């Protein structure tokens, strides 16, 4: 779900038209007074056998998700197998080897449950049935089995805040005020309620959160489209029903869940708390975590509500979510580039210092809600690349939205709403149809589909796809990027973002030039070496001092020890 307020939406649109320039300053510690210059090297596009072996070990056990690379798939647009123009489960199975070879460890499937598709599947009409156009429950079981055979995992998208108005629960609830499901939803005699002070998040979903149901002669509450009535989690039967849904999918083989707008489950009569995690919601999350913990090595990731800190979603670090999306970085990073200030990214990562031990950021730079990285980068590919380096190397688990590795362009056709611009089909080959389907796709491809196809980019050393492969090869099997400490480097200049990652074994320095001008900087960071492993900058160490030359729009990633 897209969760921007009216005011924040206007603010972001305004900020996305700024230009960018920057300067840079950094540093390091060392003991050798003799200058050591970084050699000219090209980062590898594939991990070594030793890295793969280490990765296999790191990806076992309960902390596997800390070292994994997730890949978000919109099934409808990924791969069609039966020629109807709609992506499906067998199509995804046929692409597992492609994803495995690229470096994906886990797949997050956007909703695949039965739905009238009024909100692209986020309006579920049956939590226990796969939407027919995607396949069957047997097809989903095969996906689980085939993924597990490749040591890959699969997350399902749980949408519990609301159902479709076509769900059998709502159809029964609306019949009268005394039926067994009468209190499964939030009903009121008026189009307002003292128990709910909240309204829609933005104009995408309308302006009025109450709709009159003629059959029951009452209003029902919906934070999103009118066809998505909110469930009443004050009813213990609703709590039991939803926990049962999660249990059944775990039994079938799901490895965990992404939980859609999980912070909205319980309603509030305090306007300022409409976006905050309610205490009763936090208690529900603990119950959901207890169900997940009954199955070994399962995990969950939370979609927080607004741009407030996701700290509350972690509970005590052991009893709630293992991961939560850090949207202050994931959705607002373009501001840093367009405003010539790293402050937004600094704030996002600095806030995590207060998170409970055991937290793990979930990091995105584009999504099905806010647009593709190419779009929010305003077509400046270098911004996309710099943001992706932060996503891959900062503390957290990266979630790659399908097609971001290709720099996919937004589409122009609208089937459901404006967010369809980021939900276009995946182009696999250059030729007509682009390998997605032999039929006309359910929605048109974005621009430049041939030149941004996997076929066109996979052997191009300068492509976005190759850049992603280099980043994934760097982090593969290196525990420091999954669980190592992250320290921001205060470079003394608001236009540059820099940080270190370190553990007992390794340490790395990441420098991102957020300007279109060459920069030369120096500072001190711990370490005994300065070996470039990614980027186009150059570095030199002289004793305790490190000097970095970073070209315009470039970056410098170096091993410190």
Catalytic residue numbers, as ranges? 260, 303
Structure tokens at 116: 């009238």
Q: Is 112 exposed, middle or buried (0-12, 13-18, 19+ CB in 10 A)?
A: buried
> Rounded to the nearest 10 degrees, how much is the dihedral formed by the CA atoms of 193, 194, 200, 206?
30
Question: Which strands sit side by side in the sheet containing 507-513, from one edge to the other?
Answer: 485-488, 496-502, 507-513, 555-559, 531-535
Largest CA distance in the chain: 84
Q: Is 488 exposed, middle or buried (0-12, 13-18, 19+ CB in 10 A)?
A: middle
Look up residue 39 and give its DSSP letter: P
Which of 505, 514, 456 lies closest to 482 in space, CA to CA? 505
Angle at CA 420, nearest 5°, toward 394 and 93? 70
Which of 527, 543, 434, 491 lies closest to 85 in space, CA to CA? 434
Neighbours of 236 (CB within 10 A): 8
| Cα distance between residue 533 and residue 393, in whole Å | 12
DSSP SS3 for 538: strand
Look up residue 253 and give its DSSP letter: T
Integer angstrom CA distances of residue 388 from 139, 392, 424, 476: 33, 6, 21, 15
Neighbours of 417 (CB within 10 A): 15
Following DSSP, what letter does each residue of 347-363 receive, concatenated? HHHHGGGGSPTT--EEE
Structure tokens at 369: 């809600």
> Rounded to the nearest 10 degrees, how much is the dihedral formed by the CA atoms of 386, 387, 392, 397?
170
State phi, psi for 296 to the nearest 5 degrees.
-65, 140
């Amino acid at each position: 779900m897209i969760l921007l307020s009216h005011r924040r939406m206007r603010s972001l649109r305004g900020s996305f038209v700024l230009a960018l320039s920057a300067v840079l300053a950094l540093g390091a510690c060392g003991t050798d007074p003799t200058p050591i210059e970084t050699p000219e090297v090209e980062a590898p596009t594939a991990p070594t056998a030793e890295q793969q072996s280490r990765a296999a070990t790191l990806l076992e056990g309960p902390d596997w998700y800390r070292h994994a690379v997730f890949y978000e798939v919109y099934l409808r647009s990924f791969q069609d197998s039966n020629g109807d123009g709609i992506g499906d489960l067998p199509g995804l199975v046929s692409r597992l080897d492609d994803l495995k070879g690229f470096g994906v460890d886990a797949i997050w499937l956007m909703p695949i449950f039965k739905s009238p598709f009024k909100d692209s599947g986020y309006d579920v009409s049956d939590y226990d049935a796969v939407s027919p156009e995607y396949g069957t429950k047997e097809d989903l079981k095969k996906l689980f089995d085939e993924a597990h055979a490749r040591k890959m995992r699969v997350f399902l998208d749980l949408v519990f805040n609301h159902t479709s108005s076509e769900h059998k629960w709502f159809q029964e609830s609306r019949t009268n005020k005394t039926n067994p499901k009468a209190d499964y939803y939030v009903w009121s005699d008026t189009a307002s309620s003292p128990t709910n002070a909240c309204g829609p998040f933005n104009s995408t979903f309308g302006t009025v959160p109450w709709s009159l149901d003629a059959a029951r002669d009452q209003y029902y509450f919906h934070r999103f489209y009118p066809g998505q009535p909110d469930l009443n989690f004050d009813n213990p039967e609703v709590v039991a029903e939803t926990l049962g849904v999660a249990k059944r999918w775990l039994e079938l083989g799901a490895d965990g869940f992404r939980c859609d707008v999980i912070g909205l489950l319980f309603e509030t009569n305090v306007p300022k708390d409409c976006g905050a995690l309610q205490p009763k919601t936090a208690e529900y999350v603990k119950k959901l975590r207890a169900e997940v913990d009954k199955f070994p090595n399962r995990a969950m990731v939370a979609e927080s509500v607004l741009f407030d800190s996701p700290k509350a979603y972690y509970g005590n670090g052991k009893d709630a979510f293992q991961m939560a999306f850090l949207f202050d970085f994931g959705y607002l990073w373009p501001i840093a580039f367009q405003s010539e200030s790293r402050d937004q990214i600094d704030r996002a990562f600095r806030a995590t210092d207060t998170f409970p031990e055991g937290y793990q950021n979930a990091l995105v730079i584009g999504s099905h809600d806010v647009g593709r990285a190419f779009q929010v980068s305003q077509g400046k590919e270098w911004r996309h690349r710099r943001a992706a380096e932060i996503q891959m190397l900062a503390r957290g688990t990266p979630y790659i939205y399908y097609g971001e590795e290709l720099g996919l362009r937004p589409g122009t056709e609208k089937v459901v709403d404006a967010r369809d611009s980021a939900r276009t089909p995946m182009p696999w080959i250059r030729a007509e149809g682009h390998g997605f389907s032999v039929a006309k796709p359910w929605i048109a491809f974005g621009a430049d589909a041939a030149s941004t196809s996997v076929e066109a980019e996979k052997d191009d050393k300068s492509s976005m796809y190759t850049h992603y492969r280099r980043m994934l090869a760097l982090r593969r099997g290196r525990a420091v990027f999954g669980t190592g400490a992250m320290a921001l480097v205060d470079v003394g200049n608001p236009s540059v973002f820099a940080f270190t990652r370190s553990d007992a074994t390794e340490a790395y320095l990441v420098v991102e030039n957020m300007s279109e001008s060459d920069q030369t900087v120096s500072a001190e960071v711990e370490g005994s070496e300065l070996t470039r492993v990614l980027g186009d900058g150059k570095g030199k160490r002289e004793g305790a001092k490190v000097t970095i030359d970073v070209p315009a729009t470039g970056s410098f990633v170096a091993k410190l020890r």
